[in-house]
Amino acid sequence: MKALVTIIFATISTINFYGQTNYINVCVDCNNLMHSFDFNSSTDSTDYFLIVDTSQSNNLWQLGTPNKTVFNYGYWGPKAFVTDTLNPYPINNTSSFQFSMINCSWMTSGNCGGYMELWITIITKINSDSKKDGGTIEVSHNNSPWVNLINDSLAYITGDIYSSNDTIHSMGKPGYSGNSDNWNQIDINYQPEMAQPFDTITLRFTFTSDSIQTNKDGWMIGLIQMGGNFEGIEEIQNDNLISIYPIPASEEIVIQQKIKSEKSSIKIYDLTGRLILEKSNFTEHKIDVQHLNNGIYMLKYSDTKNFSIKKIVVQH
């Protein structure tokens, strides 16, 4: 599939920085509504929710098909959100974009009730000079001053996140740098806000470079996804509950329980958040996917106390 990339011209969407903020709200659907930026489907809402800072001269962020030395394909399709689809990043550059969400709370749940939380998954690749150029993620709650995501006391973060030792010289802040052989995935959970009607959470992604040109590709976002969990009892995200294979799958997927449970459930969603399949009392180890169209789906496994969310790929 990647061999076809060289004959595909990059298509670019320009996203304006100024104007009304459109808040993503996944806290009103009792069936765990998900919202995805997959950058490839006809329903992708990047243009509506992602805001590029056009006040920064030569902002690099573009939606399109990357055709570069390292970046030549998105996460599950040809397109991605990337610091220029064709050229290496220039020297002395700062490029930012952001999006905003409403955190789940007891007052935003409608008739759902129970325990709620907001979860976010971000999948990226980096190709830059290690600890010299790179990208960072910052967060603001209700328009509070920006703080680095790793310093957000309200966030529970797992996965491939940078540390306080990974300071990038060009911005003086911790962030991603170096070269990603594989996609980096981070998962962020925010507990429900109960002290006020809502909590607006804004994530800002910033890439910077120094004064030395080394012809690297920059930063690429392959997938951004978020959801609101509504449960009658508190559940804790634990991505070590299960493993899934094969990926991709053409006929069936095998679910291997790493932590045994007498009562578990399975839900499969497409990337628009639509519930495709549900098994309330899941006692099997295999699920038939022959009836699903080719593409990416998200599987949620629950055992009443914990839950795990995994990506599955169907390719017939």
Q: What is the pLDDT of residue 4?
A: 28
Give me the CATH code for the 236-314 domain, please.
2.60.40.3080
Q: Write the pLDDT tens digit of every residue in 265-275.
A: 888 877 656 67
DSSP symbol at 48: H
At 108, is the pLDDT very low, low, confident or very high (cuts 50, 70, 90)? low
pLDDT computed for residue 154 by the predictor: 86
Instruction: Indicate whether 97 pLDDT > 80.
Output: yes
| β-strand pairing of 275-279 with 286-288 | unpaired
Report how far Cα 283 is from the mean position of its chain's Cα atoms: 30
The whole-model pTM stands at 0.72
8 A C-beta contact, residue 249 and residue 313: yes
Q: What pLDDT does 105 receive?
A: 63
May I ask the CATH architecture of the domain 2-231?
Answer: Sandwich (2.60)
Q: Please indicate whether residue 248 or residue 171 has the higher confidence score (pLDDT).
A: 171
- What does the mean pLDDT of the chain come to? 82
- Intervals of CATH 2.60.40.3080 along the chain: 236-314
Per-residue pLDDT for 114 more than 80? no
Which of these, 276, 273, 269, 264, lies nearest to 302 by C-alpha position?
264
| C-alpha pair distances (Å), 49 with each of 120, 236, 297 | 15, 28, 21
Instruction: Please give the average per-residue pLDDT across 88-109, as a whole number.
Output: 85
Neighbouring-strand partners of residue 253: 287
Q: Which is nearest to 123 in space by CA: 67, 161, 97, 70?
A: 161
Q: Picking from 19-33, 90-104, 238-252, which range would have the lowest pLDDT averaged per residue?
A: 19-33
CATH 2.60.120.200 in the chain, residues? Answer: 2-231
